[in-house]
Structure 1
């Protein structure tokens, strides 16, 4: 029986070829079927031997399979795996990294940009100022061997179906890069987890999160007023807008226009750089409260109002499109629907079907626990045995209160240099020297323009050539004082990014392993109908028949334990979960 099966479409998309591969990824036979028969062929092979399916992009193959009721157990997503191996420091020098660009080095032509904030955004702005190219492109990457043409031509080819020989050559290049790397075991786990995440994402989009449009409408109406007929603002927003105009003595003010609002505030004697809530909050004026409330409700209406409901909820399900690895650290993003930013005020609309329950689990303080495990800091690991790690730190006498512990630890991870976090850092450093040293070393590497890697081997983007040139010039004799000051500030910004990259990226790897382990376990519960319905970085929602909910809850906990063992072996860090079984997401 084949260890793997490679799926390819011909250029005309009229036939699909299933190429059987042995354990060394060598072809042992091939079968070509019409485009109307490939799903049945996959279903038969999956039932017979459960191979690992190798394909160019899970998003191209999974939807047709899911519509036909076919769910494969595992896959190898060449696009996602290529993106990781192209930049992985552990695989430096591989032929995959040194070859010129190819089809997997450009996004598919139909892929919109993800709608999730990227940690690299601020650094990209710096690079744009330092380097005329905006940012240094990734290291020259391997084309799919045997494929010619420019990246644009290669992308077009990938969209219609690359040949089996080309994709097989790409697979061999990836396997060789892993085998020749300095950490083959970790990279294999990362590629398997990333590919498994692609299956989970496709299945969650297909299954959807139960969403009651009637409840949504009622919640929205209670917050902003009834849906306007023929356009315009809902009643509550119009009332708030009128109040803001009156308090600012500006009857023609449009509160949705930042220039208009800034001008109106300046006439009241306030000079603001923006209308962000942080700046508005500092004003001493009666307009603050109604203006902030207007901005809050306006954002809610824009992001998750009736237009969102019409666009994204159908047949009682919210079905966003997840982008696996859409953020530079490996976190997911979305390309529409705002799945990763569902407001608390509307979560009551996420409601289980009759006779079903939502099993909701949140990994408590995931990033600090990951830092404890990565660094091997035993004292911090002891604190992590508590269900509340921050309280555990306070109980150990490191700092006075839980709040102090939270400020100090998150300050270490995110690079806070002022305020309470900075004041508490010396205590944290004395108590947990290994944990603090890990993030400090990552920060110093970033400041030098170096790349850093997560636990399993995802590597941060390189610094731009412009930044490296300016960094070198700043160290030269006779450097301009202002230039030196500026480049040091930029270096500190890059250090804050790399400090967080190693922790957030490793937390994302833990979450991928959690998802994969849970997906496998759910298949064996009851009649297998319980399924993952939603995922948010360190939180999962499973939609389960009520009679299976207790078993599902046990599976969620067991999967979290398994994820910890997969990444960190027997190292004693507990990944605590806040878990509840509810009918409404709002009750979790």
Structure 2
């Protein structure tokens, strides 16, 4: 193991790492934050096989129930607890702005103290403390796997930022023009959006000054016109038969496109034919990723036509079907539920089991079980699901009850949920205080808070374990894609002629690959899914089938 610290930059980091990576076996690099070190290595043409991210590992070990009794978890907050992720690269240049600032360090620079005190943190001491916490954990094997998977995810995220997602700015502009009209001058609405605004005013008999983007003004105008709505949500608007509903719903849809992925987004986030998402690994408490700017995890179908493979290359898009229910079946050891997922569509298998009558009820019921649906169709079918799949339903019910008691729950590999916090505790205490006039209200508030936190912990154990499966899938796919080697048109950089992960969305990946390797990529992604299931759940009889499509543009994958 090689622990990197800032003095290594004076030694010529790229050469140091390149030489060690050529050894067999390759070392595992340990650093404080993958984004602080790896982007510069990738720019220098160096790929790292394995790493240990101290920042990510620290956060897991501090909260995991498996280390709760260790000095590491019980210690007072220290400098590593306040470490925030470094950016994956320089911020995007805004239209009309000067050059983007460069990263804090370049290869060969001598490190200056970071303003956030980052360099005061001793990586050797932190690594030793983490190893001691792992040795004292109640199940160190699971935690070691989780830390390795989380660190591998950080490598993947940095590589996807480095390579970027192929993006045709001209196609994106054509999509916007088709949906909104030609690009307007700054500060003006596109013509088609303005036409919808005029229809809204006409339907409400409102003055030209009414701004549909102002929710208070729009609600007031609708109530004045006799449209009795309390909000502008789609489901409430659709309940009303009024001429304003159709243009307003269309306006809201197009306004979202303009705001989230319009011309300003294109100018800001797409450079040199690439969209470079900045992922935050473990950015959600369940372990799911989030993103900083650019809306990487919310790319609408409207703009996916702009994701087009380079000439001589293609996109292989793979997603796993019903990931969370399959994870629940594996975690709980529910053989009946595992059997329902064999052969493809788990919801169809649930219908075949006799638990429910239709696929829609199977889907609604399982989502209700995992997310705490207590009304409507999900509540109606839950008793039947509990009879058919008792172990699976018991697992999420037990997690909900633990959350209602204010306890920590855990994912399969040991990521711990946060405690409910002081407001929750205050509400619980208030329910039992001597309040003759308000005790009923206090008890009702306590029940609402209790049930709400129970719904969170119910889903935490499933969503968090699904995120762990996805990390294992990414890590396996990353290794397998690299082993396929080089092919196709020439390019520059580490991945210039190699298939590589280009995009990730919870249970879906996009691989940009030389066309000649597309079939090999599809095979390796499927094998990586099998490997991820085996690594997490051993010989549990749960399948993780993929839908795989080889396409020229992302929009054609579904």
User: Is 1:508 the counterpart of 2:467 in the alignment?
Assistant: yes
Instruction: Give secondary structure in 2 for the equivalent of 1:523.
Output: helix
Structure 1 residues without counterparts, runs of 5 or longer: 10-14, 17-32, 113-152
Instruction: Give secondary structure in 1 for the equivalent of 2:4.
Output: strand
The equivalent position to 1:578 in structure 2, one of 511, 524, 547, is: 547
- Equivalent-residue separation in structure 1 for 2:422 and 2:182 (angstroms): 54
The range that moved more, 526-535 or 359-368, is: 526-535
- Equivalent-residue separation in structure 1 for 2:425 and 2:29 (angstroms): 42
User: Is 1:46 the counterpart of 2:21 in the alignment?
Assistant: yes
- Equivalent-residue separation in structure 1 for 2:464 and 2:263 (angstroms): 35
The equivalent position to 1:484 in structure 2, one of 418, 443, 465, is: 443
Structure 2 residues without counterparts, runs of 5 or longer: 89-112, 487-496
- Equivalent-residue separation in structure 1 for 2:70 and 2:473 (angstroms): 30
* Counterparts of residues 354-369 of structure 1 (less than 5 Å): 354-369=311-326
* Counterparts of residues 55-70 of structure 1 (less than 5 Å): 55-70=31-46
User: Is 1:397 the counterpart of 2:354 in the alignment?
Assistant: yes
| Residue matched to 2:2 | 5
| Residue matched to 1:552 | 521
- Equivalent-residue separation in structure 2 for 1:183 and 1:581 (angstroms): 41
Deviation string for 1:393-431 (max 9, x for gaps)? 112221111111101111100100001100011110110
| Residue matched to 1:96 | 72
- Equivalent-residue separation in structure 2 for 1:94 and 1:59 (angstroms): 29
Instruction: Give secondary structure in 2 for the equivalent of 1:533.
Output: strand
User: Is 1:290 the counterpart of 2:259 in the alignment?
Assistant: no
C-alpha displacement of 1:99: 1.9
User: Is 1:385 the counterpart of 2:354 in the alignment?
Assistant: no
Deviation string for 1:468-492 (max 9, x for gaps)? 3432453578771111111001100
| Residue matched to 2:104 | none
| Residue matched to 1:133 | none
| Residue matched to 2:196 | 240
The range that moved more, 577-586 or 222-231, is: 222-231
Contact 2:87 2:278 in 1 (8 A): no
User: Is 1:157 the counterpart of 2:117 in the alignment?
Assistant: yes
The range that moved more, 264-273 or 184-193, is: 264-273
- Equivalent-residue separation in structure 2 for 1:516 and 1:273 (angstroms): 47
Deviation string for 1:522-550 (max 9, x for gaps)? 11113160000000000000001010010
- Equivalent-residue separation in structure 2 for 1:283 and 1:103 (angstroms): 55
Instruction: Give secondary structure in 2 for the equivalent of 1:75.
Output: strand
- Equivalent-residue separation in structure 2 for 1:61 and 1:521 (angstroms): 24
| TM-score, normalised by the number of residues in structure 2 | 0.90
User: Is 1:275 the counterpart of 2:251 in the alignment?
Assistant: no
Contact 2:161 2:276 in 1 (8 A): yes
Instruction: Give secondary structure in 2 for the equivalent of 1:361.
Output: strand
Contact 2:55 2:83 in 1 (8 A): no
| Residue matched to 2:391 | 434
C-alpha displacement of 1:274: 2.5
Instruction: Give secondary structure in 2 for the equivalent of 1:34.
Output: helix
* Counterparts of residues 63-212 of structure 1 (less than 5 Å): 63-108=39-84, 156-158=116-118, 161-162=119-120, 166-212=122-168
C-alpha displacement of 1:83: 0.5
C-alpha displacement of 1:111: 6.3
- Equivalent-residue separation in structure 1 for 2:236 and 2:130 (angstroms): 49
> Residues 301 and 478 of structure 1: is their aligned pair in 2 closer, same or farther, counting only changes over 3 Å?
closer
> Residues 478 and 295 of structure 1: is their aligned pair in 2 closer, same or farther, counting only changes over 3 Å?
closer
The range that moved more, 73-82 or 275-284, is: 275-284
Aligned residues: 519
Contact 1:377 1:435 in 2 (8 A): yes
- Equivalent-residue separation in structure 2 for 1:530 and 1:552 (angstroms): 8
> Residues 434 and 420 of structure 1: is their aligned pair in 2 closer, same or farther, counting only changes over 3 Å?
same
Contact 2:33 2:86 in 1 (8 A): no
| Residue matched to 2:101 | none
Deviation string for 1:82-106 (max 9, x for gaps)? 0011110110121211222222211
> Residues 273 and 557 of structure 1: is their aligned pair in 2 closer, same or farther, counting only changes over 3 Å?
same
C-alpha displacement of 1:221: 0.8
| Residue matched to 1:222 | 178
C-alpha displacement of 1:280: 2.0
| Residue matched to 2:99 | none
| Residue matched to 2:491 | none
The equivalent position to 2:10 in structure 1, one of 34, 40, 63, is: 34
The range that moved more, 236-245 or 277-286, is: 277-286
Instruction: Give secondary structure in 2 for the equivalent of 1:100.
Output: coil
